C-alpha cells in the first residue's frame, strides 16, 4: 500500500484532542508539529516534531520529503503567518488542507465589550486615564503596550516573557490554564482590575475570565481574529478525524 501521511499543525486543545483519539489508530499515519513557541510544551502521545519549517519553501520541502497527503491546520486562531504559509504550500503541491479550530466568542447579556481589529488598536483603546489592566494577549504581543505606560498591568503567561518587552508597571503571574470562574473572579478582585484586554481565541479553556469580567462589570477590549485564507474550516473533532481517515493510511 502506498504511504499516505497527514501533517497536523498543532499547539492547541483541538490538536491535543486529535492526538488522544489517534493514539489507538495504528492504521493511520500522522505526524503532529509544534511551533516551539512555548518553552515547556505538553508533548503529544503520537509522532511529533518541534520547531519551524523555514518559511513556505521549507514547508514545501517537508511536505515532499515526508510524503504528506493532507494537512490539518489546528494552530492557534492568531497564528496567522503559519496558516498563510500552510495555505500557500498546500496550494503549490495540490495537497488537501483543513482548518480545525474553535468558534470565536460572542458577547452575551451583561458583557461590556469593545471590539478592535488588532493589538495596536487595543493599546489605543485604553485611553489616557491610568487604569488597572488585566492583559491576556500572549507574551509575544506585550511589547505593543510599552507605549501606554500610564497604565498598570497584570500579565499572565505560561513562559517568562522578555523583561525588555513588558510594560514598565507590570505584575507577572506565570501559570498554565485552564482557570475556573471562581479563580478569575478572585484574581480580578484582589488585583483591583478595571479593564480586561484579551484576544478572541474562543473555546472553553480560557473563557472563565470573560464570565468573571461580566460578573464584576469589568469592560473588555476584545482583539478580533485575523482573516483566514480561503479554506475548508471545521469545529468538529469527528470531521477532522474523517479527513485524516481519508488522507492518512499507514503503509
Does the pLDDT of residue 82 top 60, yes or no? yes
Query: Is the pLDDT reported for residue 42 higher than 80?
Result: no
Model confidence, pTM: 0.89
Give the model's pLDDT for residue 35: 83
pLDDT score recorded for residue 39: 64
Taking 60 as the threshold, does the pLDDT of residue 1 lie above it?
Answer: no
pLDDT digits (tens, 9 = 90+) for 128-143: 999 999 999 988 899 9
Confidence of residue 2 (pLDDT cuts 50, 70, 90): low
> Which residue(s) pair with 32 in the sheet?
8, 48
User: What percent of the chain is predicted at pLDDT more than 70?
Assistant: 96
Domain boundaries of the chain, sorted by first residue: 5-103+227-247, 113-223
Among the CATH numbers 3.40.50.720, 2.30.30.50, 3.40.50.2300, 3.30.565.10, which is that of 5-103+227-247? 3.40.50.720
| CB count in 10 Å sphere of residue 163 | 8
What are the pLDDT digits (tens) for 214-248? Answer: 999 999 999 999 999 999 999 999 999 999 999 98
How many beta carbons lie within 10 A of that of residue 57, not counting itself? 13
- Give the pLDDT of residue 105: 96
Q: How far apart are CA 61 and CA 222, in angstroms?
A: 37
pLDDT at residue 159 in the model: 86
CA dihedral 191, 196, 197, 198 (to 10 degrees): 100
Place of cell 470562574: 181
Asked if the domains at 5-103+227-247 and 113-223 fall in one CATH topology, the answer is yes
What average pLDDT does the segment 247-251 reach?
84
Mean pLDDT of the chain: 94
CATH 3.20.190.10 for domain 113-223, yes or no, is no
3-state secondary structure the chain: CCCEEEEEECCCHHHHHHHHHHCCCCCCEEEEEECCCCCCCCCCCCCEEECCCCHHHHHHHHHHHCCEEEEEECCCCCCHHHHHHHHHHHHHHCCCEEEECCCCCCCCCCCCEEEECCHHHHHHHCCCCCCEEEEECCHHHHHHHHHCCCCEEEEEECCCCCHHHCCCCEEEEECCCCCCHHHHHHHHHHCCCCEEEEECCCCCCCCHHHHHHHHHCCCEEEECCCCCCCCEEECCHHHHHHHHHHHCECC
Residue 73 has pLDDT above 90, yes or no: yes
Calculate helix-pair angle for 55-65, 80-93, nearest 10 degrees: 50
Taking the mean position of all CA atoms in its chain, how far away is CA 101?
9
Amino acid at each position: 500500500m502506498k504511504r499516505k501521511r497527514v501533517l497536523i499543525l498543532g499547539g492547541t486543545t483541538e490538536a491535543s484532542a486529535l492526538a488522544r483519539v489517534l493514539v489507538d489508530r495504528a492504521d493511520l499515519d500522522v505526524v503532529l508539529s509544534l511551533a516551539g513557541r512555548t518553552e515547556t510544551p505538553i508533548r503529544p502521545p503520537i509522532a511529533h516534531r518541534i520547531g519551524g519549517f523555514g518559511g513556505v519553501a521549507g514547508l514545501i520541502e517537508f511536505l515532499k520529503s515526508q510524503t504528506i497527503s493532507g494537512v490539518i491546520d489546528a494552530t492557534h486562531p492568531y497564528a496567522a503567518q503559519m496558516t498563510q504559509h500552510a495555505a500557500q504550500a498546500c496550494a503549490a503541491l495540490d495537497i488537501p488542507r483543513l482548518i480545525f479550530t474553535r468558534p470565536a466568542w460572542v458577547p452575551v447579556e451583561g458583557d461590556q465589550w469593545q471590539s478592535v481589529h488588532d493589538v495596536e488598536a487595543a493599546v489605543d483603546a485604553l485611553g489616557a486615564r491610568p487604569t488597572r489592566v488585566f492583559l491576556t494577549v500572549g507574551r509575544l504581543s506585550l511589547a505593543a503596550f510599552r507605549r501606554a505606560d500610564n497604565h498598570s498591568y497584570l500579565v499572565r503567561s505560561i513562559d517568562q516573557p522578555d523583561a525588555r518587552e513588558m510594560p514598565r508597571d507590570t505584575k507577572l503571574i506565570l501559570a498554565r490554564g485552564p482557570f475556573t470562574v471562581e479563580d478569575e473572579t478572585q484574581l480580578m478582585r484582589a488585583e483591583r482590575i478595571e479593564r480586561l484586554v484579551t484576544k478572541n481565541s474562543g473555546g472553553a479553556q480560557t473563557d472563565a475570565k470573560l464570565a468573571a469580567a461580566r460578573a464584576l462589570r469589568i469592560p473588555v477590549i476584545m482583539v478580533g481574529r485575523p482573516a483566514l485564507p480561503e479554506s475548508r474550516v471545521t469545529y468538529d473533532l469527528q470531521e477532522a478525524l474523517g479527513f485524516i481517515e481519508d488522507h492518512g493510511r499507514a503503509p
